Amino acid sequence: MRQLFFAVCLLFALSSYAGDKLTIAVASDLRYAMADIVSLFQQQNQLDVRVIYGASGKLSTQIRHGAPYDMFFSADISFAGQLYQDGLAATAPQPYALGHLVLWSPNQNMAGIKLEQLAELDFARLAIAQPAHAPYGQRAKQALQAAGVWQKIEPKIVYGENIAQTAQLAQSGGADIAIIALSLARFPELAGQGYQPISTELHQPLLQAYVITRHGATNTAARQFSAFMTTPQVLSIMQHYGFEQGHFEPPHSGKHSFEQPEAN
């Protein structure tokens, strides 16, 4: 009887565990890397993981309006940090990588082409992510301004809602050239042509971080996934997609630590 009792308890525990769900809001630069990470995580855990991709600013706004996301992976630590300061995140921002920008085209090799040369090139449209809510778009604009070509080529610029849509915009013929995340340019479907890394000296760092949201505070699956992000397998995946790894110091926890930079 005692053995039967423990067997029933174990079965109940396993069935409850299998029914655990995790909903993650993820910046679009992680679209391919996160797909690999989640796949590996689900191989090792009986969990239902749902991933919502989008621009960091828009995902942050959705969380503020009650979207039931358990975790939020931001391409800019400021969005995650502001949620934490405002009591909408259960954990402080955990930096996980530095992102990088590249100049890319679906039809021509951009290797060796500098941003300063864009004003001289013959092209109709350049795609970047929307600076108002996409960190990669904001940094792209900063880089173009620092290179001294923003005013000259601004009439040719078209905008994607997020960095993944920016790449798709160029893929579909909506733009000749795009400034996208290195993590996307390394995906096989986009790696047909060479790309040119954009110097990080031309823009603010893309320090990326995640938080467990207030909604996910009691979700044990969120804690499991957070721990999983530090494993060698995940670090290997991140490096494969070009994310810079290392020890990153998050901003201090003062009142204005996580203010978001101006988007214009």
d(C-alpha 251, C-alpha 245), whole Å: 17
Question: pLDDT tens across 149-193, in order?
Answer: 999 999 999 999 999 999 999 999 999 999 999 999 998 777 777
Q: At 201, give phi and psi (nearest 5°).
A: -75, -15
Q: Is the Cβ–Cβ distance between 246 and 252 less than 8 Å?
A: no
Provide the pLDDT for residue 247. Answer: 64
pLDDT at residue 249, rounded to an integer? 64
User: Which residues, 6 or more positions from 72, have their beta carbon under 8 angstroms from its beta carbon?
Assistant: 24, 25, 26, 59, 60, 63, 79, 80, 83, 89, 210, 211, 213
pLDDT in tens, 118-158: 999 999 999 999 999 999 999 999 999 999 999 999 999 99
CB distance 143 to 206 below 8 Å: no
Report the b/e string of 20-55 with b at 16+ CB within 10 A: bebbbbbbbbbbbbbebbbebbeeebebebebebbb
pLDDT category at 7 given cuts 50, 70, 90 is very low
- In this structure, the strands spanning 177-181 and 21-27 are unpaired
pTM of the shown model = 0.85
**pLDDT tens digits, residue range 30-77?**
999 999 999 999 999 989 999 999 999 999 999 999 999 999 999 999
Q: Is the pLDDT at 258 greater than 80, yes or no?
A: no
pLDDT at residue 193, rounded to an integer? 78
Show Cβ contacts of residue 202 under 8 Å, excluding neighbours closer than 6 positions. 115, 142, 143, 146, 147
In the structure encoding, which two tokens stand for residue 162, read together?
A: 């997020």
The pLDDT score that the predictor gives to residue 248 is: 65
Residues 6 or more apart in contact with residue 222 via CB below 8 angstroms? 22, 70, 71, 212, 216
Return the amino acid letter for 143. Answer: A
CA distance 204 to 93: 18
Maximum Cα–Cα distance across the chain: 83
Cβ(30)–Cβ(24) under 8 Å? no
CB-CB contact of 137 with 131 (8 Å): yes
Contact 98, 195 (CB under 8 A): no
Q: Could you tell me which residue, 9 or 230, shows the higher pLDDT? A: 230
